[in-house]
């Protein structure tokens, strides 16, 4: 098997394409209970500092988006897979 070794600039087109899709339809697999469901069906807690996405099946935090003056951070929680 061969592969090409490049720098992170190779991600630009990939991320642009992935993030331009409807995020609510992304399938998230919970690593805690194994449930797989669209992000639209999760439970979301939000305030001015954070958005916490929880599994509707077991309430574990799948991922968190933190907003602060330095920018936004995506913190991966119990999510095992995101099927884009
Ligand atoms: Zn779960």
The rounded Å distance from CA 61 to ligand 1 centre is: 8
Q: How far is the CA of 5 from the centre of ligand 1 (A)?
A: 36
In the chain, where are the structural domains located?
Answer: 23-83
Question: Would you call 9 helix, strand, or coil by DSSP?
Answer: helix
pTM: 0.84
Q: How far apart are CA 59 and CA 67, in angstroms?
A: 22
- For the segment 36-60, what is each residue's pLDDT rounded down to a tens digit? 999 999 999 999 999 999 999 999 9
* 11 token code pair: 């991600």
Q: For residues 72 and 66, is the Cβ–Cβ distance under 8 A?
A: yes
- 6 CA distance to ligand 1 middle (Å): 36
Q: Which of 82, 37, 31 is nearest to 60 (CA)?
A: 31
Q: How far is the CA of 63 from the centre of ligand 1 (A)?
A: 12
């Amino acid at each position: 098997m061969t592969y090409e070794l490049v720098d992170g600039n190779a991600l630009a087109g990939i991320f642009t394409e992935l993030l331009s899709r409807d995020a609510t339809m992304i399938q998230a697999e919970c690593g805690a209970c194994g449930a797989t469901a669209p992000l639209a069906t999760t439970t979301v807690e939000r305030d001015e500092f954070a958005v916490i996405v929880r599994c509707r099946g077991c309430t574990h935090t799948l991922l968190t988006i933190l907003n602060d003056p330095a920018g936004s951070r995506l913190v991966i929680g119990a999510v095992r897979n995101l099927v884009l």
